[in-house]
Structure 1
Amino acid sequence: MQRLSGLDASFLYLETRSQLMHVIGLIEIDPSTMPGGYSFPKLRDELERRISALPNFRRKLDNSVLNIDHPVWIEDDDFDIERHVHRVGVPAPGSVLELTELCAHLAGQTLDRGKPLWELWVIEGLADGKVAAMLRMHHAGVDGVTSADLLAQLCTMTPEAPDLDVEKIHQTAGGSSRTTMAVTGAVNYFVQRPIAMAKLIPGTVGVPVGWLRRTRSNTAMPAPFRAPRTRFNAPITPHRSLALTQLSLDDIKRVKNRFGVKINDVILAITGGAMRSYLEEHGELPEQPLVAMVPVSVHGADESSLVTGGTNKVTGMFTQLPTDLDDPVERVEQAATFARTSKDHHADIDANILRAWAQFAPGTTMSTLMKLYGDRGLALSHPPIFNVLVSNVAGPDFPVYFLGSRVTGVYPLGPIFHGLGLNITVFSADGHINVGILACTDHAPDVWAIAHAFDEELKQLLEACD
């Protein structure tokens, strides 16, 4: 039995029928490389074999009315691969448009909390003979880094099936004990939490003071609730629209080297240019720059006893996007300046402070308030916290094979929230920058226009390099 951290559990409390808290990896594979030829049963059987050495895929949630602390993970003793792996054919003609429409529908479905919180949809019938695998995992069990790590464990450097780690085969989350869950939960709640809060408050008080000081000297990252309003800053529904694009990593590096910036600066500049193009086309471009929230991993950071453990080890950095500038080169330079300011400011803030406060998340109260917030459309009653969530996750820069099939693209898709209905996630792998864009259909039924704008932005920057 392993108790969830407060931040992990928060993704359970935040979830409503409209606000779905799972992350997605859409994997495009070439089945011709599978040893002995491709078949769905063979792929499913190999996945079942691999999962025997992947404990995170075998654990499920457990809770009780007597537990006043966060839920726990336990081993699913009735684990059945057929309850998690599904086969479906994409509608004719099997283009990327039909694929993304199908995936958007699946992205709008909730995960069953009575079993391990993941599922894999194997999508066949693509026009180019490839197969797509859509892996959905709840955010309570993974963050950007851990999801990439789990995906890496399902991939190999050759098509042949690997040997499994014997220690991980025997690793287990353990069984359920209502008494232990209630007693340890009560100790955490009544004893450890007050002590932890007393230690946390002094360090937290200095954050807004330091923020104000930096604001006066123009060295602060954007403050929450200071972003301009866009169509994406509204309540969301369960309906999803998604789009994909793949950029050349060499092209991104060429721009980086030409203008003396970092890869992430180029990504932020392209994102800003794509957002500018999309909103300008709709006659909705704000005069002031948009604000992005960029998740930052704190894996390996020093942690207090309050936040030890848990899967989600992230914090967030706010940065402006140069959507107010028309010239693409100026956008790159300004994006780099914005990012440097935000990174310097973010470095002054304890990386674990968000996770520490999340330990105090009240489950029932938080769930009730979140449902009320969504049902009453309260996202429109206050200024936007930020405009778009932009993640950049690094993957392997060499060919890999997913259950024996060569991976030709990996497109990550993160969750969206009430008032924050656009998520752009970038995953670099095997010489490509894979961009996954997820939005609420009510906000952006034409989300492919944003993907096409990414392509156009990079084209303009390459022309500027010449």
Structure 2
Amino acid sequence: MSGGRHVVRPVDDVWLAMDQPDNLMVVEGLMVVDGELDRDTYVRLLQERVLDRFPRFRQRARHAWLPWPGQWWEDDPDFDLDRHVQEVRLPAPGDDAALEDHVASRLSRALDRQHPPWEVHLIQGYAGGTVIYTRLHHALADGTALFRVVLALADEEPDEEPEEEPEEEPDGALDGDGPGLLHVARSAIRALPGTGRLLRTPMVAEHLLLARRPASPLSLPPHHSKRAVWTPSIEVADLAGLRHATGATVTDIVMAALAGALRRWLVAHGTEPMVDDLPTMVPVDLRGSAALRADDLGNQFALVLLDLPVGIDSALGRLDETAARMRAIKASPEAWLTYGMLEGMGLMHPRLRVLATDFFARKATGVTTSVRGPDQPLHLAGMPVTRLWAWAPMSADQSLSTSIVGYAGKVHVGFKVDAATVPDPQALVAGLQAELAELTALAPPG
């Protein structure tokens, strides 16, 4: 199925320009299936539920001068699904360490931009089951879109058939009148009010433009090597007492535990005096809950800065402050302003674009993605899906990406780190577990 030729939207073009060897602009996800999923079955599902619905997965970004200069999505004339889907088997004993090693071997490898910028590893032998490891360039889609595409492979019931969705005419196609150019123009117009509102909103302007990342062991220059680790599943029911006692949400609690884990790590690495806050970028989805359409890939999210209160020495104090800051973010126009700014950056000269994106990225230690997945368990080819993670890329010189995914009554937390800056990522896992244990011990049972 041909996807036609489409202009790369300015907000997506930003991510093409941000790629650098030490921090690749790749969104990554892991899905754990309880059972061995054979490659033929997976490829059939991928073809029916992803490639046939989203032609963008057959396209690559190419620079062209006509009908106007810029980046364009075009069909890959040499598209080969075997190039994009690889099957591997973990060495015995097929445990977390073996999976971590395989993921680490790919984290620093750039995607081949001569072809559609995505790949899937079907990893066999993990705890007797299969892991689907998906890597997708951020220019193709953001983390929420990736999450929805991956979940499109699964069903709520073991033998459920996928629902047919109506075909939609993609915006930006070259169809006589050139709506792609109109899309670029609309992007520019939308970006201008965002900038104006930013200048008229002093508090948000101060936060976005004047905020500085404190010096800490986490603010060192990045290196090529990356690692990914994760916690055991966290039962949402175990947090009920704390939620009722404090009024905090599950996300508030996990974010506060993250602040505590980072505090423990900083103390262990000689941070003295302790910094007050560690800023992290939090992606905010702007799509809403509507079904993902063929023209709905790309980036429709904004970034807000959340200051994790690592300087507070009380676990409950960190929770109270984190919850207050999360509420303030929800009431702030910051998300829409940063989205407008990202679109504006996409219209800049490439050199200015890199300078602008690096300027904002260097205000944060890393990025923290919080995604709420389905409340009910899913099945893939009749087999239960047990765990999910989705990591955003680290930009500029950031060193930490944290994944928080709620799914079927559990929370799954994972860390992707710069291996030179954070040589002991398991310390973050242990710290987060210890923080959650301390917090839940302070509240009556739910």
Fold match (TM-score > 0.5): yes
Q: Distance in 1 between matches of 2:47 and 2:188?
A: 41
What is aligned with 1:165? 164
**Shift of the alpha carbon at 1:121?**
0.4
Distance 1:418 1:329, change over 3 A: same
TM-score by length of 1: 0.82
**Shift of the alpha carbon at 1:100?**
0.8
What is aligned with 2:62? 62
**Shift of the alpha carbon at 1:337?**
1.8
1:1-51 Cα offsets, whole Å, 9 max, x none, are: 22121111111111022221111111111116xxxxx43333333333433
1:271-303 Cα offsets, whole Å, 9 max, x none, are: 1011101111111263322122211122259xx
Distance 1:155 1:171, change over 3 A: farther
What is aligned with 1:4? 8
2:218 to 232, 252, 256: 232
**Shift of the alpha carbon at 1:348?**
9.0
What is aligned with 2:423? 445
1:223-271 Cα offsets, whole Å, 9 max, x none, are: 5542212233232222111111121122234322221122222122111
What is aligned with 1:294? 282
What is aligned with 1:321? 308
Q: Distance in 2 between matches of 1:310 and 1:384?
A: 27
**Shift of the alpha carbon at 1:164?**
6.1
Q: Distance in 2 between matches of 1:412 and 1:141?
A: 15
Report 1:363-374 matches (<5 A): 363=350, 366=353
What is aligned with 2:292? none
**Percent identity between the aligned chains?**
23
**Is the 8 Å Cα contact of residues 26 and 138 (structure 2) preserved in structure 1?**
yes
Instruction: Give the residue type in structure 1 aligned to 2:159.
Output: E
What is aligned with 2:49? 50
Q: Distance in 2 between matches of 1:161 and 1:313?
A: 30
What is aligned with 1:35? none
What is aligned with 2:262? 275
1:149-202 Cα offsets, whole Å, 9 max, x none, are: 11221111123362463755x97899989x999x976x988xx48x946x8556
Report 1:65-76 matches (<5 A): 65=65, 69-76=69-76
Q: Say if 2:375 is the partner of 1:397.
A: yes
What is aligned with 1:21? 25
**Is the 8 Å Cα contact of residues 192 and 340 (structure 2) preserved in structure 1?**
no
**Is the 8 Å Cα contact of residues 29 and 408 (structure 1) preserved in structure 2?**
yes
What is aligned with 2:432? 454
Moved more, 266-275 or 47-56: 47-56
CA RMSD of aligned residues (A): 3.4
Q: Distance in 2 between matches of 1:405 and 1:338?
A: 40
**Is the 8 Å Cα contact of residues 89 and 124 (structure 1) preserved in structure 2?**
yes
Distance 1:149 1:100, change over 3 A: same
Distance 1:103 1:349, change over 3 A: closer
Q: Distance in 1 between matches of 2:194 and 2:124?
A: 53
**Shift of the alpha carbon at 1:387?**
2.1
**Shift of the alpha carbon at 1:74?**
2.6
Distance 1:77 1:278, change over 3 A: same
What is aligned with 1:125? 125
What is aligned with 1:88? 88
**Is the 8 Å Cα contact of residues 192 and 344 (structure 2) preserved in structure 1?**
no
Q: Which runs of 5+ in 1 are unaligned?
A: 33-37, 302-307, 374-378
Q: Say if 2:331 is the partner of 1:344.
A: yes
Report 1:183-222 matches (<5 A): 192=185, 196=188, 201=192, 204-212=195-203
**Shift of the alpha carbon at 1:397?**
0.9
Q: Distance in 1 between matches of 2:103 and 2:143?
A: 20
Q: Distance in 1 between matches of 2:434 and 2:421?
A: 22
Q: Distance in 2 between matches of 1:336 and 1:172?
A: 40
1:50-106 Cα offsets, whole Å, 9 max, x none, are: 334331433332332557654222334543221111011223322101211210111
Distance 1:224 1:66, change over 3 A: farther
Q: Say if 2:255 is the partner of 1:255.
A: no
Q: Say if 2:366 is the partner of 1:388.
A: yes
Q: Distance in 2 between matches of 1:119 and 1:383?
A: 26
Q: Distance in 1 between matches of 2:329 and 2:42?
A: 44
Distance 1:59 1:403, change over 3 A: farther
1:432 to 397, 410, 427: 410
Q: Distance in 2 between matches of 1:69 and 1:463?
A: 60
Distance 1:254 1:221, change over 3 A: farther
Q: Distance in 2 between matches of 1:172 and 1:296?
A: 24
Q: Distance in 2 between matches of 1:98 and 1:391?
A: 25
Instruction: Give the residue type in structure 1 aligned to 2:30.
Output: L
Aligned length: 432
Instruction: Give the residue type in structure 2 aligned to 1:451.
Output: V
Q: Which runs of 5+ in 2 are unaligned?
A: 290-294
Query: SS in structure 2 opposite 1:54?
Result: coil
Instruction: Give the residue type in structure 1 aligned to 2:255.
Output: L
Report 1:30-41 matches (<5 A): 30-31=34-35, 38-41=37-40
**Is the 8 Å Cα contact of residues 122 and 132 (structure 1) preserved in structure 2?**
yes
Q: Distance in 2 between matches of 1:134 and 1:171?
A: 30
**Shift of the alpha carbon at 1:420?**
1.3
What is aligned with 2:113? 113
